[in-house]
């Protein structure tokens, strides 16, 4: 049991004393405090905080040098970035696993592959990756931190100038967002929805009016739409290759060996731990910020800057004590009635269109007006 004097800073110190190293993970915490009785001395306020936490490394990095880079940047060429033959072969193998997982999820005739299909893509850091949650920050975090360091550039000491807070590791959220934005800009032409098979046409088919090409303001909606269309195209490709009519039928061409499902009956593996359940760092930080906002709302009318600072500092310790208490009492997690709605109906509607179009059958005179 933790003493009442234990703080988040002391928890971090205790971790570092054990010899662990780590990184700072941060995100913006913006909250507006309104008031029912507005006066000159009592006005609505906007608070802009920067929520940070420290998480230990999962992979030992003591072998990496701190005084010099691993190589001379002037000697880095394009071949250092492109995949070599071994990496290409590994990528193809991993791609097979991802496609097979979708096939097992959709088609009943491939359920037998569950006996041999890895639940997660194997890699050299499998054990370490299950210890903690990935850490880092988004691009806005980096920009604001660099701006803060510039403002403190005239300070007397290295610590006061925050020179030790470097480098900031950027998470892949914005990379994914930029990729999705460029994809929609290239292929989602809203006013060309009459061209069958295009993203604009399929958007109309499944009535996704919230998909308008503005990815930054509606990221989740566009991500779900592209993911649904991609899965539908994958299903159509599998049906075309194996000659499958629907999810309940069996392959009529390129068929696997007869009774193949019985050959692997004894190879079923029990997956231990929570492999494949890791969160992206930006997702975990969003959850942490949401938790802190709940604590701030619990302050009620006493939402002063000092009180907000105190409760957010105590937040990680409060959660730790609460989690330990629930663990001792064996309290089961609760779930709400709000669930992500199934996209099965949307997939069937898109696949019906694709089956008529047969996009994986080469047709020499087939063109699209939007891409001429």
| DSSP character string of 55-118 | EE-SS--TTS-SSS-SS-GGG--GGGTS--HHHHHHHHHHHHHHHHHHHHHH-GGGGGGGGTS-
In the prediction, which pLDDT does 224 show?
A: 92
Residue 122 has pLDDT above 80, yes or no: no
Nearby residues of 312 by Cβ (< 8 Å), 6 or more positions away: 29, 49, 51, 292, 295, 296
| pTM value > 0.75 | no
The reported pLDDT for the residue numbered 204 is 92
Amino acid 129: pLDDT = 57
> Mean per-residue pLDDT for 300-317?
82
State percent of the chain over pLDDT 70.
77
What's the rounded mean pLDDT across residues 43-54?
79
Length, in residues, of the chain: 372
Tokens of 168: 């900031």
Using a pLDDT cut of 90, give the percent of the chain over it.
Answer: 12
Pick the range with the lowest mean pLDDT from 150-159, 278-287, 321-330. 278-287
Has residue 258 got a pLDDT over 50? yes
- What's the pLDDT score for residue 277? 58
Residue 127 in this model has a pLDDT that exceeds 70: no
pLDDT at 197: 85
pLDDT in tens, 316-357: 788 888 888 888 887 776 555 445 567 888 988 998 899 888
């Amino acid at each position: 049991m933790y003493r009442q004097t234990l703080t988040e800073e002391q928890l971090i110190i205790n971790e570092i004393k054990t010899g662990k190293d780590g990184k700072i993970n941060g995100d913006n915490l913006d909250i507006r405090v309104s008031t029912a009785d507005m006066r000159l001395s009592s006005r609505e306020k906007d608070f802009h905080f920067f929520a940070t936490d420290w998480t230990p490394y999962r992979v030992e990095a003591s072998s990496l040098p701190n005084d010099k880079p691993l190589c001379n940047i002037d000697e880095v060429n394009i071949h250092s970035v492109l995949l070599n033959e071994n990496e290409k072969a590994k990528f193809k193998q991993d791609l097979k696993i991802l496609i097979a997982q979708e096939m097992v999820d959709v088609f009943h005739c491939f359920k037998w592959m569950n006996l041999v299909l890895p639940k997660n893509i194997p890699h050299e850091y499998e054990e370490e990756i299950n210890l903690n949650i990935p850490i880092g920050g988004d691009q806005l975090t980096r920009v604001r931190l660099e701006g803060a360091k510039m403002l403190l550039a005239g300070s007397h000491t290295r610590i006061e100038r925050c020179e030790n807070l470097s480098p900031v590791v950027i998470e892949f959220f914005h990379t994914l967002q930029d990729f999705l934005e460029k994809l929609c800009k290239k292929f989602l032409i809203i006013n060309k929805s009459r061209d069958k098979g295009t993203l604009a046409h399929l958007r109309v088919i499944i009535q996704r009016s919230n998909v308008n090409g503005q990815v930054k303001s509606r990221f989740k909606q566009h991500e779900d739409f592209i993911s649904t269309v991609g899965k539908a195209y994958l299903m159509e490709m599998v049906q075309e290759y194996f000659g499958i009519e629907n999810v309940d039928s069996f392959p009529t061409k390129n068929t696997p060996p007869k009774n193949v499902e019985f050959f692997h009956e004894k190879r079923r593996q029990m997956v231990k731990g929570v492999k494949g359940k890791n969160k992206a760092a930006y997702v975990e930080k969003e959850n942490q910020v949401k938790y802190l906002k709940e604590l701030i709302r619990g302050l009620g009318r006493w939402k002063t800057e000092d009180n907000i600072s105190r409760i957010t500092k105590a937040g990680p310790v409060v959660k730790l004590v609460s989690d330990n208490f629930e663990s001792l009492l064996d309290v089961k997690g609760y779930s709400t009635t709000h669930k992500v709605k199934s996209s099965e109906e949307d997939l069937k509607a898109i696949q019906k269109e694709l089956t008529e179009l047969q996009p994986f059958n080469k047709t020499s005179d087939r063109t699209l007006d939007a891409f001429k």
